[in-house]
Amino acid sequence: MVRSVAERAFPSIRHVLEEFGDMMILTGKTIWSALRPPYPYGGEFVSQFLFALRLVWFPLLVSTVAINYGAPGLQAGDFLTLFGALDRLGGFFVLAAIREIGPLITSIVVAGVAGTAITADLGARKVREELDALQVLGVDPVKNLVVPRFLALMVVTGLFDIYALLFGIFGGILAALSFGQPLGPFWGTLFANASVTDLWGSVLKTTIFGAIVAIVCCYKGMSASGGAEGVGRAVNEAVVISFLGIGAFNYVFTQTLLATHPNILVIK
Amino acid sequence: MAVHEPQRSSPGSEEQEFEFHTGEIRASGEPDAIEFVDVHKSFGRNHVLRGLNMSLPENKISMILGPSGTGKSVCIKHIVGLLYPDSGDVIVHGESIPSLRDAELFETRKKFGVLFQDGALFGSMNLWDNVAFPLRQHTEKGEDEIGEIVNRRMREVGLGGEGAKMPNELSGGMRKRAGFARSLVLDPEIVLFDEPDSGLDPVRTALLCELIKEIHAENGGCYVVITHDIMSARRVAEHISVLWKGKIVESGPAEELFASENPFVRQFLSGESAGPLGME
């Protein structure tokens, strides 16, 4: 009786928990399949890596330069001008661009561009019963389809983070120049505040964002149903859940990194 | 195969709902290749299989017939382990499919050939590579031998010389025939056809049915065809199981089912509008 009432009252909560559990199981299976021989996914890994590279580089370039120029660049620059501390803009870019904006923009662009393509591709294969046919033909779709996408998206997202940091700082340089500032103080405060922890923290966080995006997008594609409309719905849900996952993990990672490395809390 | 006692109905509305489900399983004279034992399966609130008991004999073309939405395709997915029953068991050649580990299941699947509704060809490969795929995946055969087998199977289904085409360049009938060729290349012991007649015109349906009969006569094994097309059933069925509301109404050799006195079986196999089956 109680269970029946609970099922009626909270069907969506139950569904969300079931999906979360399924994604955790898929993550476990993917890591296990990736490590366990045989390793038939090399070709597909390279193909997915190049596919993501080709799709993502330009949107990421535009968005990182524009957002870093606009948000931490112009907005924070305007605020710092009040205190006559515009030379601190470079230091602020360590906090804003390297620790947060770079990883977030990278993973959001990867999810929006490459992740959706993965969901649409796997979803279309699912509704055409290609995935069922693969399984019946004795091919494990996790090992042959999910693992290469998971590894490719992790690696490409981690590498793209460095790319995003470089172009993000370029946005900061544009902002400093637009305030008529020399670049010496910008570089000075940037390097005074930047540490190796910031760099590996940023790359590690973004790599894990890539893993989250890959699992969510593969899961949503492989569980799509209901024809073309179902594939569209799966793509939409994949993006939303990826963003939620990225946001939630970002909170946990940032808190953990700050707690375990208190030296990066000190602003120089 | 033993003749089973009719299923007992529980009292009340369920008794009315399963009024015509005698569950009678008539002897086919062959051992069972596939058995469903009290299988229940639900998708959310939709209880699709509701205690399904069904046996499909060896060396026959069996048909699972029933109205749309009664769980026929769900049966095929249970047989190959793409779906698992909520309760009950699915036994193939004495092995319980739901109890198999993943590695054992992938091994067991080699004995199946499955023709999916739209062929389920891999969109990234041409027709020839699609048909060759199972051989490359599961055998140590060289490309020459693979080529020989693929060409023979493609000729059998009338697609000789079409190997370079991509799946999106083919008509629905050609995709089905290509799927059929792919399902046969490993000489499977069990071949499953999920609505081979859907989306085909009557002539091509008849030709595909003839093809199924010819290839079965040549290779033998357990062929299971899922359909709601009575003409196809009359053409190829040697054994029929009539499925409705997730349970077997009656099952047995085709000629006995076509002569059945059960009002639902009679209505369905004659395609009449008057009878227990309505639009609901």
Cross-chain CB nearest to B120 (options A133, A138, A139): A133
CB pair distance less than 8 Å for B116 and A140: no
- pLDDT for the residue numbered B215: 87
pLDDT in tens, A191-230: 999 999 999 999 999 999 999 999 999 999 999 988 899 9
CA of B194: which chain A residue's CA is closest?
A: A129
CB pair distance less than 8 Å for A133 and B122: yes
Question: What's chain A's average pLDDT?
Answer: 92
- pLDDT for the residue numbered B261: 77
Q: Which chain A residues have a beta carbon less than 8 Å from that of B118?
A: 128-129
Cross-chain CB nearest to A132 (options B120, B134, B137): B120
**Coarse DSSP helix, strand, coil percentages of chain B, rounded to the nearest 5 percent:** 40, 25, 40
- pLDDT for the residue numbered B4: 45
- pLDDT for the residue numbered B262: 78
- pLDDT for the residue numbered B256: 86
Q: Which chain A residues have a beta carbon less than 8 Å from that of B134?
A: 137-138
CB pair distance less than 8 Å for A136 and B109: yes
Q: Which chain A residues have a beta carbon less than 8 Å from that of B114?
A: 132-133, 136
Mean pLDDT, residues A179-186: 91
A67 near A101, Cβ under 8 Å? yes
Q: Which chain B residues have a beta carbon less than 8 Å from that of A140?
A: 102, 106
Determine the residue among B100, B121, B192, B195 to mutate to test chain A binding: the one whose Cβ has the most chain A Cβ atoms within 10 Å: B121
CA distance B121 to chain A (A): 6
- Could you tell me if A62 lies within 8 Å of chain B, comparing CB atoms? no
Rounded to the nearest angstrom, the gap between the alpha carbon of residue A246 and the centroid of all alpha carbons in its chain is 6
A152 near A52, Cβ under 8 Å? yes
A242 near A217, Cβ under 8 Å? yes
Give the residue with greater pLDDT, A75 vs B275.
A75
Number of DSSP helices (H) and strands (E) in chain A, helices first: 13, 0
- Could you tell me if A225 lies within 8 Å of chain B, comparing CB atoms? no
E strand or H helix at A122 = helix A116-127
**Interface A-B: count of C-beta contacts within 8 A:** 47
What Cα–Cα distance (Å) separates residue B79 from each residue in A93, A128, B105, B191? 59, 19, 11, 11
Q: Which chain B residues have a beta carbon less than 8 Å from that of A135?
A: 80, 82, 109
Distance separating the N- and C-terminal Cα atoms of chain B? 35
Strands B32-43 and B112-115: unpaired
**Which of A172-186, A229-243, B262-276 is least confident?**
B262-276
Rounded to the nearest angstrom, the gap between the alpha carbon of residue A108 and the centroid of all alpha carbons in its chain is 5
Compute the distance between CA of residue B115 and CA of residue B212 in angstroms, rounded to an integer.
Answer: 11
- pLDDT for the residue numbered B7: 45
CA distance A141 to chain B (A): 11
CA of A126: which chain B residue's CA is closest?
A: B120
Cross-chain CB nearest to A132 (options B82, B106, B121): B82
pLDDT under 70 in chain B at which residues? 1-24, 26-28, 271-280
Chain A from 108 to 137: CB within 8 A of any B CB: 124-125, 128-130, 132-137
Local structure of A251: helix, strand or coil? helix
CB pair distance less than 8 Å for A137 and B137: yes
CB pair distance less than 8 Å for A130 and B121: yes
B225-237 burial: b if 16+ Cβ within 10 Å, else e:
bbbbbbebbebbb
The β-bridge partners of B57 are B32
Cross-chain CB nearest to A136 (options B107, B112, B117): B112
Interface predicted TM-score (ipTM) of this complex, two decimals: 0.78
CB pair distance less than 8 Å for A136 and B137: no
CB pair distance less than 8 Å for B117 and A129: yes
Mean pLDDT, residues A243-255: 96
| Side chain identity, residue A81 | T
Mean pLDDT, residues A55-84: 93
| Side chain identity, residue A149 | R
CB pair distance less than 8 Å for B106 and A140: yes
Cross-chain CB nearest to B82 (options A124, A128, A135): A135
Mean pLDDT, residues A20-41: 93
CA of A124: which chain B residue's CA is closest?
A: B123
Q: Which chain A residues have a beta carbon less than 8 Å from that of B82?
A: 132, 135-136
Compute the distance between CA of residue A202 and CA of residue A194 in angstroms, rounded to an integer.
Answer: 11
Q: Which chain A residues have a beta carbon less than 8 Å from that of B80?
A: 135-136
Compute the distance between CA of residue A267 and CA of residue B13 in angstroms, rounded to an integer.
Answer: 75
CA distance B101 to chain A (A): 13
Q: Is the bond preceding B57 in cis, omega lying within 30 degrees of 0?
A: no
Q: In terms of C-beta distances under 8 Å and separation of at least 24 residues, what long-range contacts does B153-156 make, across chains too?
A: B153/B181, B153/B182, B153/B184, B153/B185, B154/B127, B154/B128, B154/B178, B154/B181, B156/B181, B156/B184, B156/B211, B156/B215
Compute the distance between CA of residue B140 and CA of residue B57 in angstroms, rounded to an integer.
Answer: 32
Cβ of B37: how many Cβ atoms within 10 Å?
A: 16
Q: Which residue ranges make up each domain of chain B?
A: 13-270
- Could you tell me if A138 lies within 8 Å of chain B, comparing CB atoms? yes
- pLDDT for the residue numbered B5: 44
> B13-270: what CATH class?
alpha beta
